Amino acid sequence: MPFLAFLFIFLLLPTYGVVRKAFIANDGGYTTEGFTDAISKEWPAFWGSLKLSFVTALLGVVFGTLLAYAAATARRPKWLRSLVASFSGVAANMGGVILAFLFISLLGRQGLATKLLTEAGWNPYKSWFNLNEFTGWVMVYMYFQIPLMVLVTLPAIDGLKPAWREASANLGGTTWTYWWRVGLPVLAPSMLGGFLLLFANSFSAFATVYALNTSANLVPVKISFFLQGDVTGRSPMPFALATWMIIVIAVSMGGYLVLRKRAERWQQQ
Amino acid sequence: MSTWRARLGRLFPTLVLIASALFFLLPVLSSARFALQKVPMVLLNWSNVFDGWSLRTLSQPFKEDNFWPTLSLSLKLAGGTVALTLGLLVPTALFVHLRLPKARAFVEFLTVLPYVVPPIALVAGVAAFFRPNARWYLNSEYALVPLYVVMALPFTYRSIDAGIKAIDVRTLVDASRSLGAGWVTTFRRALFPNLMSSLVSSSFLTATVVLGEFTMANTLAKRTFPTFLYEYYGLKAQSGTALALMTLIGTTALLGIFTLFTRRRGARVPTRF
């Protein structure tokens, strides 16, 4: 079948190429040195990527669920829910250089908000904020992480039947009991799955952070740096980094796909 | 006490919505302000933040030498990706559906594999594998097309598969075949009209993703539209922001058109995930 041949050539062979080159030394022999070097010498990049992915996934889950809940329960403007859903569809796809430019215009060193806040007496760059560093990356990533979480969790929130709430109240449960005993357990697989999806999404994101800071110490940026800097194409470093990256993402995406199956249990009509 | 809490409970979702609206709109508004202002950024303050507008930057990017060539390359890549995706996936999905239902789970598994190999890793592998074995491929202008097909695979396959599941393919095929139609006629006159909306929607989404893809194009040093935008912004931040904003509006409009196509069928919101 042409489809299988295509996948073989353009997905499996390149992946194999990455993994193979991760284990080949400069002299052409087999070695695990590059593979272990990648994690020991480039540990700051890994730590940065893990930290960034963890923080943005966690915040994304919290704010995404809150936004989805607010949109799903709001009654008054009828179009609100579909507006939030459509907008999330657009914004979740929006990582990349454009997103970086939008935020530079707002919160860059010469950004509009930076200027106006400084004039009002508070310079964000003199306290904790810097768009080219961790705090700034987190803020920019939220722009696609929150909408992605909304997309994941909106069907789950729709799956919460009002009858359950009434049943809980009839049995003497408070709002707190309802959320703790009914709502959260039903939402839990979606939230945990969403966390893993967001984690993988942030871990693999390259363009956004590259446009903010080309020397960001994160795994994808390092891979690009080594790929472009190494003319001989012999160094195992970028490939070892990419192999580690595939491993991390495979674990979190695998968990997501399993949890998604479980989350869909309450979403059938 | 209880009314106070009830009021807070009602107010809370509204606050969440307002805060979200601010977070998502402010970067867009500030970039519009930055792109269209005449006041030098250094002199900007509370008193002149709404003064001095100019539309000059909107026309600047079109005068760049690299604008049209890169845009046309990106449009060709988008067209090529859509064509290859449809040519590859529609027969596969139909075949699996009609002849090999047992292989469905396996094919679905294959189509989500690209999630696991992020673009930067895939492109590293492509460079590693094809540089020694098929250099002509890497040098080709269209080297990105198959990579974009792979990148888009998880959502394109799901969308096409959902379109096929939604109609009774077997009955349509049997009816058409028993009336004497060949496979081509069957596809063209019986299946295609019914699959139209799912094919169109996945094509639009693919096209917008291709038009914004930066990672692989940049790593393989291909001069596509996003890499032009990135370079241009480095030279002229203000016109670059204007171009970024116009691109954003353009692609959002494209997605908007495509949502209209899908909404009639009550499909869920399109995403990459």
- Structural domain count, chain B: 2
Q: What is d(CA A59, CA B207) in angstroms, rounded to the nearest whole number?
A: 30
B12 and B77, same structural domain?
no
B247 and B193, same structural domain?
yes
B245 and B176, same structural domain?
yes
Handedness of CA B61, B62, B67, B71 (dihedral sign): positive
Identify all chain A residues contacting B113, using CB atoms and an 8 Å cutoff.
7, 11
| Token pair of B200 as six digits | 């169109």
CA distance A69 to chain B (A): 8
In a domain? residue B189: yes
Query: Which of A65, A81, A90 has the highest number of chain B CBs within 10 A, making it the mutation to test binding with B?
Result: A90
Residue type, B49: V
Is A152 in Cβ contact with B23 (below 8 Å)? no
Longest Cα–Cα distance in chain A:
74
Identify all chain A residues contacting B74, using CB atoms and an 8 Å cutoff.
none
DSSP 8-state symbol, B117: S
Instruction: Classify residue B229 by burial, with Cβ atoms within 10 Å: 0-12, 13-18, 19+.
Output: buried
More reliable by pLDDT, A139 or B127:
A139
In a domain? residue B12: yes
Q: Which of B54, B73, B95 is the last residue of a domain?
A: B54
CB A135 within 8 A of CB A107: no
Is B33 in Cβ contact with A112 (below 8 Å)? yes
Whichever domain contains B236, its CATH number is 1.10.3720.10
| Token pair of A25 as six digits | 């030394």
- pLDDT of A175-201, one tens digit each? 888 888 888 888 888 899 999 999 999
Pick A119's closest partner by Cβ from B14, B46, B214: B46
- Specify the pLDDT at position B2: 58
B190 and B225, same structural domain?
yes
Q: ipTM, 2 decimals?
A: 0.87
Pick B259's closest partner by Cβ from A17, A86, A211: A86
DSSP 8-state symbol, B158: H
Identify all chain B residues contacting A13, using CB atoms and an 8 Å cutoff.
125, 129
Length of chain A: 269
Query: Which of B8, B111, B117, B153 has the highest number of chain A CBs within 10 A, making it the mutation to test binding with A?
Result: B117
B40 and B14, same structural domain?
yes
- pLDDT of A238-256, one tens digit each? 889 999 999 999 999 889 8
Residue type, A156: A
Residues pairing with A30 in the sheet: A24
B64 and B32, same structural domain?
no
Identify all chain B residues contacting A10, using CB atoms and an 8 Å cutoff.
126, 146-147, 149-150
| Nearest chain B alpha carbon to A234 | B128
More reliable by pLDDT, B171 or A65:
A65
In a domain? residue B84: yes
B178 and B85, same structural domain?
yes
Show pLDDT as tens, one digit a residue, over chain B (273 residues).
Answer: 456 767 777 788 889 999 999 999 999 999 998 888 877 766 777 777 777 778 888 888 888 888 999 999 999 999 999 999 999 999 899 889 888 888 888 888 888 888 889 999 999 988 888 887 788 888 888 999 999 999 999 889 988 888 888 888 888 888 888 888 877 888 788 888 888 888 888 888 889 889 989 999 998 889 999 999 999 999 988 899 999 999 999 888 877 777 666 655 444 444 555
B82 and B175, same structural domain?
yes
Is B247 in Cβ contact with A10 (below 8 Å)? no
B152 and B204, same structural domain?
yes
B91 and B19, same structural domain?
no
Q: Which of B39, B54, B69 is the last residue of a domain?
A: B54
- pLDDT of A81-112, one tens digit each? 888 888 888 888 777 899 999 999 999 888 88
Q: What is d(CA A8, CA A154) in angstroms, rounded to the nearest whole number?
A: 36
In a domain? residue B271: no
Total CB pairs under 8 A between chain A and B: 238
In a domain? residue B269: no
| Token pair of B157 as six digits | 């396959």
Pick B45's closest partner by Cβ from A88, A119, A257: A119
Is A112 in Cβ contact with B49 (below 8 Å)? yes
Domains and CATH numbers, chain A: 18-96+143-267 (1.10.3720.10)
Pick B27's closest partner by Cβ from A21, A103, A200: A103
Identify all chain B residues contacting A83, using CB atoms and an 8 Å cutoff.
none
Handedness of CA B220, B221, B227, B230 (dihedral sign): positive
CB B54 within 8 A of CB B36: yes
Q: Which of B16, B36, B54 is the last residue of a domain?
A: B54
3-state per-residue secondary structure call for chain A: CHHHHHHHHHHHHHHHHHHHHHCECCCCCECCHHHHHHHHHCHHHHHHHHHHHHHHHHHHHHHHHHHHHHHHHCCCCCCHHHHHHHHHHHHHCCCCHHHHHHHHHHHCCCCHHHHHHHHCCCCHHHCCCCCCCHHHHHHHHHHHHHHHHHHHHHHHHHCCCHHHHHHHHHCCCCHHHHHHHHHHHHHHHHHHHHHHHHHHHHHHCCHHHHHHCCCCCCHHHHHHHHHHHCCCCCCCHHHHHHHHHHHHHHHHHHHHHHHHHHHHHHHCC
Residues 6 or more apart whose Cβ sits within 8 Å of residue B84: B145, B146, B149
Q: Find the domain containing B7 and state its range.
A: 2-54
Judged against a pLDDT cut of 80, whether residue A223 lies above it is answered with yes
Mean residue pLDDT of chain A comes to 87
Identify all chain A residues contacting B259, using CB atoms and an 8 Å cutoff.
86, 89
Buried-exposed string A78-115: b where 16+ CB fall within 10 A, e elsewhere: eeebeebbbbbbbbbbbbbbbbbbbbbbbbbeebbbbb
| Nearest chain B alpha carbon to A118 | B45
In a domain? residue B213: yes
Q: How many other CB atoms sit within 10 Å of the CB of residue A179? A: 15
- Specify the pLDDT at position A75: 72
Residue type, A242: A
In a domain? residue B270: no
Identify all chain A residues contacting B241, using CB atoms and an 8 Å cutoff.
101, 105
In a domain? residue B125: yes
Query: Which of B57, B94, B129, B248 has the highest number of chain A CBs within 10 A, making it the mutation to test binding with A?
Result: B129
Identify all chain B residues contacting A109, using CB atoms and an 8 Å cutoff.
none
B33 and B116, same structural domain?
no
Pick B118's closest partner by Cβ from A102, A148, A249: A249
B191 and B130, same structural domain?
yes
Q: What is the mean pLDDT of residues A118-134?
A: 86
